[in-house]
Amino acid sequence: MAVSRRELLRYAAVGSCAAWISAVAAPGVAHGREVLGTIVDYSAAVPSPSSIRAAGHIGAIRYVSD
């Protein structure tokens, strides 16, 4: 089954809206579990620990590969 570019973009938009609504509708709860905190995922500029904490996050993670 071939999907046109327009259909693909429509599906992506609908999926993004659904994800946004679910995130806004239940702050502090993810998949029926209480959210204990958030972390930052970065790959370019290295944020300082104080800026991560000031933004309300509990930590950071960085992926490094060859």
Q: What is the pLDDT along the chain (66 residues), one digit of tens a residue?
A: 787 888 888 888 887 777 666 666 555 665 667 777 888 888 777 788 888 888 888 888 877 766
pLDDT of residue 56: 86
- 25 and 42: one domain? no
In the chain, how many domains are there?
Answer: 2
- 31 and 47: one domain? no
pLDDT of residue 25: 57
- 30 and 40: one domain? no
- 2 and 24: one domain? yes
pLDDT of residue 46: 79
Pull the structure tokens for residue 27: 């702050």
- 31 and 46: one domain? no
Q: Please provide the DSSP assignment of 1-58 as one string.
A: ----HHHHHHHHHHHHHHHHHHHHHSTTEETTEE----EEEESSSPPPHHHHHHTT-S
- 31 and 44: one domain? no
pTM for this model (two decimals): 0.43
Expressed as residue numbers, the domain containing 14 is 1-35
- 50 and 29: one domain? no
